[in-house]
Each structure stands twice: as C-alpha cells, then as structure tokens.
Amino acid sequence: MDALVPRQDRAKDRGGPAQPLLLAEGLRKHFPVMGGLLGRTTKVVRAVDDLSLSVAKGETLGVVGESGCGKSTVARLLIRLLKPDKGTMVLDGDPVDEPHGITVAELRRQVQMVFQDSYASLNPRLTIAETLAFAPKAHGLPASEARERVRDLLAKVGLEPDTYMERYPHELSGGQRQRVNIARALALRPRLVILDEAVSALDKSVEAQVLNMLVDLKDELGLTYLFISHDLNVVQYLSDRVLVMYLGKIVELGSVEAIYGNPQHPYTRALLSARPSMDPRKRTKEAPIQGDPPNPIDPPSGCRFRTRCPFAEDVCARLEPQLADTRAQAVACHMRVAGSGHSKAAAP
C-alpha cells in the first residue's frame, strides 16, 4: 500500500502524449428530489446527462456555461467526490474503479481539485502548514519530509514559507488563501488539476496574478488543467480547448480559436454576445437570450436549448441533437447537421 512506500514522484506518463490523460464516457448524475410520503424519490434533477469528454495531456480544457448547468457536478464526478450513476472513466489508459483498473484513491492522487470558496476550503482550525501537510502525511510521508514539501509548495505559489507556515486561514487575504488552496492541490504532485471557479471569487487584479501563476505552474510542473468558469474572458485567456455546457449536456466543443472566432451553436453565440465589451460602439442593445434555463428536473424534450433558441423548429422538440463533428468543432445542433429536418440545415 501507499502507506509503506511514500511515492514522492509524480505518476509516470504511461500511454505517451497522444493518449488522453482523462477520458470520461457517458457520465451521468441524477440527484433524487426527496418528496411525497415517507421521503420517496419522486423526481430527479438531471444535473449531468450522458456527458463524454477527453482531456489531452498538457492542455487546458475550459468548461463554460450558466450557473446550474452542471459544471461543478462534472468536476466532482471526475474526482469522484460524487459517484456517477452511469459512465466510465479512463485515466491514461487505466479504467477507474474497475476490476483490472486503478482505484478511486489512485485517481485522486493523480487528479486534484481547487474549489471556488477559498475560505470554506481551508480548515479554520489548522495552520497553513498543517493543511498542506495533511495529504502527504495521509499518504505516508514522514513529518520532516512533509514539512520540507510544505515549504517547497508555498514557495511555488509565491508565498514566503517562513511568514505563512504558522498562519491561520483567517489571517490571510482571499488571494493568499487561494494560493494556499492551489498549493494543497499540488501537494500530491498530481497530473490533472481541476480548477472549479478557482479565481472567480477574487478581485480582478488578484485574479490576474493568480492566473499568471497558474500558467507558470503548468509549464513548470507539466500539469494539465480542467478550468471551469463562467467568465468567458478568463477561459479564453487560459484554455486550449473549450467545452460549452447547457443543462447537463455538452452543446459545443472545440479549440479556443474555433469557439470564440466561429461559434456554431446558438447558445454559444448568445453567451459570447452577452460578454460585456470595453468598446462602447459594440455594446449589445438587447439581451441575446431571455429568461432562465429550464428546470433540470423536467428538461425540455429533444434539444434542451430549444425553449430559448430563436431558431427552434419542430425537429428540435422531437429529436435530441447529437454532438456532431464538424471540422475541428463538435456541435450539438440540428441546424449544423445536414438532412436533420431543420430548415436551416444543409441538404443531405
């Protein structure tokens, strides 16, 4: 077991650079809504529905979408803080939590996560050093070596070790706390770091510093990021590829240039045009989409976006669009599939 031999070195690359680091197939998570007599499950919230994604080695995959679209659920599923109802995960060729694969514990050693709330994600009773040493010690690293690693981690995230080791979280600023959280995520020397709105709660100047630090750390440590955010500008700055989610489904997926330069899905277009512009001549005059997302307890039939889509037609209510590959970009929209029955679709 891990406890006997402290594995200090990062897990080795196994499948070579072409093999995806993390592959998720058909992930599904429905949350039961307790109700009725004796708390029977009467309804489910379809937070994530048959979602598949792959994260290539060394890339940053951005995940965007409105609040409540299932971004955080995806993050928690990928690190197995939530158990998926359905679906498989493969980490660098090894199936996760399957007889001949790797265990969830091993997955968690290689995949780590940074949470949004920098304060709630630090134990208020522990010093920074205790927080950072927790995971290495739990994996069997002796105290003295754990302490060395803590110093190393703090230096990496730009915090002077002697100043901050014995401090408590409430003595730190939001930016400093988030640096500590990032350091903790790096404590086990993971390969993939999931950043769930990790910079969203910071003010803009601090956010920029932390983002730049994340870029530097990625180069220095050869990390792969899954970067979840609702801030389209930040995602554009950091990501190589972008995944757009709507109501628990992927609606569009492609390179950052493709998504931002040539968005195909009406929802992606609406999101991008809703982006506040610095140029007063480019200010949007009307809201590109109205209303709130539908209730995920009872999502619309067919295409889930059709209730707010200006181009919705009969076929959108009848058939669920599949994520279709058009050039470098995958889109889940009937308009982009030749012969789908949508009036704007090309002829078959």
Which chain residues interact with other proteins by CB under 8 A? 76, 79, 81, 105-106, 108-109, 112-113, 115-117, 120-127, 130-131, 134-135, 138-139, 160, 162-163, 166-173, 175-176, 181, 184, 187-188
Distance CA 192, CA 60 (A): 10
Q: How far is the CB of 63 from other proteins (least distance, A)?
A: 18
Q: End-to-end distance of the chain based on CA atoms, in angstroms?
A: 57
CB count within 10 Å of CB 311 equals: 14
Beta strand 324-326 pairing with 249-255:
unpaired
Our CB check for other proteins shows the closer of 131 and 268 to be 131
Our CB check for other proteins shows the closer of 229 and 329 to be 229
Classify residue 266 as exposed, middle or buried by CB count within 10 Å of its CB (0-12, 13-18, 19+): buried
Beta strand 60-64 pairing with 224-228:
parallel
Beta strand 324-326 pairing with 329-331:
antiparallel
- DSSP letter for each residue of 271-290: HHHTS--SSGGG--SS-SS-
Our CB check for other proteins shows the closer of 111 and 259 to be 111
Q: How far is the CB of 100 from other proteins (least distance, A)?
A: 20
Q: How far is the CB of 114 from other proteins (least distance, A)?
A: 9
Our CB check for other proteins shows the closer of 125 and 204 to be 125
Residue 47 DSSP label? E
Distance CA 173, CA 249 (A): 36
Our CB check for other proteins shows the closer of 134 and 237 to be 134
Distance CA 275, CA 282 (A): 10
Our CB check for other proteins shows the closer of 203 and 325 to be 203
Our CB check for other proteins shows the closer of 135 and 244 to be 135
Which of 138, 135, 132, 134 lies closest to 153 in space, CA to CA? 132
Our CB check for other proteins shows the closer of 181 and 224 to be 181
- Largest separation between any pair of C-alpha atoms in the chain: 69
Please say whether the beta carbons of 96 and 24 come within 8 A: no
Residue 76: φ, ψ to 5° = -70, -30
- Tell me how long the chain is: 348
Q: How far is the CB of 167 from other proteins (least distance, A)?
A: 5
Q: How far is the CB of 109 from other proteins (least distance, A)?
A: 6
Beta strand 86-91 pairing with 94-95:
antiparallel
